[in-house]
């Protein structure tokens, strides 16, 4: 038996947030919900995620969370419970049941799915199919980064999970958080004509720099080193401390290293101990307000995560990027494309060494080249809010037609 849909003019958004590694997906999802809520204040948000870092992101009105049991990636396309001694099948079924029940009783008007169209290992599929059958007027959107992974890898993974067919039958729109001119997802991932018609390139998603949020005057210059969530950030942090940090200290230049909440504890303690032995080095376990540190940095040394690169571009900061190569190629691909456009400089991961990193840091500090971020469309949040209102209008129009 199905409960009658009655929204009474209020929008309800169910946001599914991929959460296998890091915090980038949750940061982007909360930024999108916050922006929508600003334009449509009566909207309620229910965010489903397994990340243990939900408390780091707040400030969204009428928002709550479904905390799914956390996962860790055991192998490519294989996840297991982060905290429970449960078989993988059990933990995935538990999460799937929670997701299905959540959409049944929250009864969303719009669903936004981040990164994984059918969820981790297909866990969201039963919820989406229930919505399509029982709530045909609910708008379902897939939001994808500019680049998912190398084309052949993504095509194979999507085919294995049946994603191409599900994109055609379950989703109303696909929001691409990037630019077609830089990376054409339809061509690279060989999407069908039916799926291509649903694509909306909204631009890169990043919080705009507020007029009052300018660089702090009289703040000594510093080099910011950040590794996103920190899961695989040891190599870059260690390499920077091996030579670059000491050379900068000799010049009176501070280094600020932000480790990330997922940097393994033993690794973090060892690196923090080394950092404390070098003058003018500040070690920060994690900073949820990384944007402010980026804004006030003379140079940013970073891995190539989507959110960090967008923040760097929005703040017109010079950056030296050392992207990860595994388990996905998306950071490497993005960094190469952006370097070709003159937005950043990068070091190929296979070439990373203390000497090369220090040399490149010194070069960028001494050569005040202009950042060419004008080639990027950084209005993704504005366009997402616009698409949301257009979907809202279609939903109201459809409801009116049914009543007539």
pLDDT for residue 55 is more than 90: no
Sign of the CA dihedral running 308, 310, 316, 318: positive
Two tokens, residue 398: 């459809």
Two tokens, residue 303: 């891995």
Of 297, 300, 11, which is closest to residue 138 (Cα–Cα)? 11
Q: Does 3 map to a domain? A: no
Containing structural domain, residue 49: 12-208+379-403
pLDDT for residue 110 is more than 70: yes
* Tens-digit pLDDT profile for residues 218-246: 577 899 999 998 889 999 999 999 999 99
Q: How far apart are CA 161 and CA 124, in angstroms?
A: 12
Tracing tokens 């991961």 back to the chain, one arrives at: 349
The model carries a pTM of 0.91
Q: Does 216 map to a domain? A: no
Structural domains of the chain, count:
2
* Tens-digit pLDDT profile for residues 391-402: 987 765 554 443
User: Within this chain, do residues 190 and 280 fall inside the same structural domain, yes or no?
Assistant: no
Q: Does 89 map to a domain? A: yes
User: Within this chain, do residues 39 and 170 fall inside the same structural domain, yes or no?
Assistant: yes
User: Within this chain, do residues 138 and 38 fall inside the same structural domain, yes or no?
Assistant: yes
User: Within this chain, do residues 144 and 244 fall inside the same structural domain, yes or no?
Assistant: no
User: Within this chain, do residues 195 and 261 fall inside the same structural domain, yes or no?
Assistant: no
Share of the chain above pLDDT 70, in %: 91
User: Within this chain, do residues 59 and 174 fall inside the same structural domain, yes or no?
Assistant: yes
User: Within this chain, do residues 278 and 183 fall inside the same structural domain, yes or no?
Assistant: no
User: Within this chain, do residues 174 and 195 fall inside the same structural domain, yes or no?
Assistant: yes
Q: Return the minimum-mean-pLDDT range out of 12-21, 39-48, 180-189.
A: 12-21
* Tens-digit pLDDT profile for residues 264-303: 999 999 999 999 999 999 999 988 888 899 999 999 999 9
Q: How far apart are CA 361 and CA 299, in angstroms?
A: 8
């Amino acid at each position: 038996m199905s409960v009658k849909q009655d929204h009474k003019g209020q929008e309800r958004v169910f946001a599914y947030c991929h959460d296998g590694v890091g915090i980038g997906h949750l940061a982007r999802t909360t930024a999108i919900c916050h922006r929508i809520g600003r334009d449509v204040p009566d909207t309620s948000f229910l965010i489903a995620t397994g990340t243990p870092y939900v408390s780091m992101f707040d400030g969204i009105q009428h928002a709550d969370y479904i905390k799914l049991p956390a996962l860790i990636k055991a192998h490519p396309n294989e996840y297991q419970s982060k905290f429970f001694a449960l078989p993988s099948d059990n933990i995935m079924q538990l999460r799937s049941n929670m997701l299905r029940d959540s959409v049944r009783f929250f009864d969303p008007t719009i669903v936004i799915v981040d990164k994984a169209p059918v969820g981790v290992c297909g866990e969201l599929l039963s919820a989406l199919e229930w919505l399509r059958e029982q709530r045909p007027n609910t708008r379902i959107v897939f939001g994808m980064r500019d680049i998912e992974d190398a084309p052949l890898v993504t095509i194979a993974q999507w085919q294995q999970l049946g994603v191409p067919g599900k994109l055609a039958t379950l989703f109303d729109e696909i929001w691409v958080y990037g630019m077609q001119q830089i990376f054409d997802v339809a061509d690279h991932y060989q999407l069908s004509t039916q799926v291509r018609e649903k694509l909306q390139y909204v631009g890169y998603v990043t919080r705009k720099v507020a007029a009052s949020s300018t660089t702090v005057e009289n703040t000594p210059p510093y080099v910011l080193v950040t590794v996103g969530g920190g899961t695989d950030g040891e190599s870059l942090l260690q390499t920077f401390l091996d030579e670059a940090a000491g050379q900068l200290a000799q010049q009176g230049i501070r280094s600020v290293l932000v480790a990330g909440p997922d940097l393994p504890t033993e690794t973090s303690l060892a690196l923090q101990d080394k950092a404390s032995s070098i003058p003018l080095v500040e070690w920060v376990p994690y900073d949820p307000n990384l944007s402010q540190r980026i804004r006030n940095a003379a140079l940013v040394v970073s891995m190539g995560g989507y959110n960090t690169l967008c923040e760097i571009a929005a703040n017109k900061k010079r950056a030296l990027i050392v992207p990860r190569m595994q388990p996905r190629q998306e950071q490497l691909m993005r960094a190469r494309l952006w370097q070709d456009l003159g937005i950043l400089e990068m070091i190929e991961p296979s070439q990373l060494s203390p000497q090369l990193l220090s040399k490149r840091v010194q070069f960028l500090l001494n050569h005040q080249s202009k950042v060419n971020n004008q080639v990027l469309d950084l209005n993704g949040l504005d366009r997402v809010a616009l698409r949301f209102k257009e979907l809202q209008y279609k939903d109201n129009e459809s409801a009116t037609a049914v009543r007539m």
